[in-house]
Structure 1
Amino acid sequence: MTREDAEIILAQAGTAEDEGFPLLECALACAIHDYPFRDPEPVRLMADHAAQRLKERAANESPDDALTETMAADFRLNGDLLNYEHPGNTDVIDVAERRRGLSAALVVFYLDAARRAGLKAAAVDFPGHVLLRVETPEGPVALDPFSQGRLVLPSELTRRALLAGLTPHVADRLDLLMAPVSDRQALIRLQNILFTRALRLEDYEGAERSALRRALLDPDDHRPWLDVAAAREKQGALTGALEALSRARRLGDPADACRVSMDRVRMRLN
């Protein structure tokens, strides 16, 4: 698969309804968009086996236990505590090979297996960390894919929320702390992490690619095009930056803010 093939897949998924969003295939396309010409078949094979194993476990275990035992015990998917900044931790092809990654990448495999096994689960865009919400007969529970899929108790959710800077009256609201997001938004969260990391490393080409993937995945959002423009400007690609700013303005970016950016880029062109 080439970078152009990946963009076609992401653009098609961008127009799909959330209910039919192809999470795993889009995650693979995102990975190959960064580093093309890799073989995604081992990832698909692992995902097939995980879904089958989860179905077997879910027949005799609670949904949360079945997910934890399948993904963390049987398939050894876990957070990379020793090499948190490793670039492979955000790439689902590398994560499947190393069985280590960030929660935003690990949750892709949890969600894919849950969907195919008929379990109800969703990502939770928790401050600073992606969690998994699983519906059980006793009510929803939160799992942490980074920590071997362990159960996160309500008191721990509140503690983490306070440490992340949320106010006490928000940190006590479990309905807010465990609010589910769509699979599309879960994958966009992963691209946001990649964008932030790329900027920190001054990898502006990588930042542009991650921002472009967000734009393709959510074509009605103007904000990714602002990031595309900023990354292109850093590379000196001023005509491309102006094009991205124009797209942001057409999609509804506040006119004044966008005009300032466009004027700055035009001045550099002249």
Structure 2
Amino acid sequence: MIMHPDFDPVALSLGPLQVRWYGLMYLFGFAAGWMLARVRAARPGSGWTPAMVDDFITWCVLGLVLGARLGYVLFYDLGAYIRDPLAIFQVWQGGMSFHGGMIGLCLVVWFFARKHKMTFFQIGDFLSPLAPPGLFFGRIGNFINGELWGAPSGVSWAVVFPDPRAGGVPRHPSQLYEAGLEGLVLFTALWLYSARPRPAGCVTGMFLALYGLFRFLVEFIREPDPQLGYLAFGWLTMGQLLSLPMILVGCALILRGARRGASVS
């Protein structure tokens, strides 16, 4: 059993300005994505320039943050935000949805593809390997905040979280499981897979399928959102219901690419 360090959510105070760990994790994720994008753009025949990368990452930041926040509002706690609409803007309180962020990024990819006369999957396949570092830092931010904990557990690395709602019992550190799977493992798989030319849509499909699978599995040992609980069959959570389409679409894209092996992104 391990006691959670109960970090101060404020990493740095500069007078009235407070810099929170959660915000810093997002900043680290965006910085990592930007640097990796520059590396991918430098590959021969990438079709990307440094200016395009900078423009693209700027739009990605906007699409991700807005999509993630609105996705949480719509998918996870709409009733509460209808009662208190101003709470939508209180992002420092947490409440970001990966699936909402992904929808926001899809809109950015569509817009950017039209602007630069590229295909959707040319952009999507370029973007997909850049996402896992942001997922990694986001989950570390969840752990620092002591939120989104796992189910009670007797494993030796179980963590007692300080939030009274966690009940003072040892729990799976599901945030760290997700950081490892959705961050480190997914990044390694996508970076190696995309190192060679692949049929258009396959890298995007690999991202969707693997992320969806990892998220679906971890949800079994993660406490469901208290305002929602289990939504289907007494054991499926909102995260699992949103991940199932990702797995199916991802597998379909990979199979489609296998049939069109001659066309690479």
TM-score, with length taken from structure 2: 0.29
Greater relative CO (CA pairs within 8 A, separation 6+): 2
- Structure that is richer in strand per residue: 1
TM-score, with length taken from structure 1: 0.28
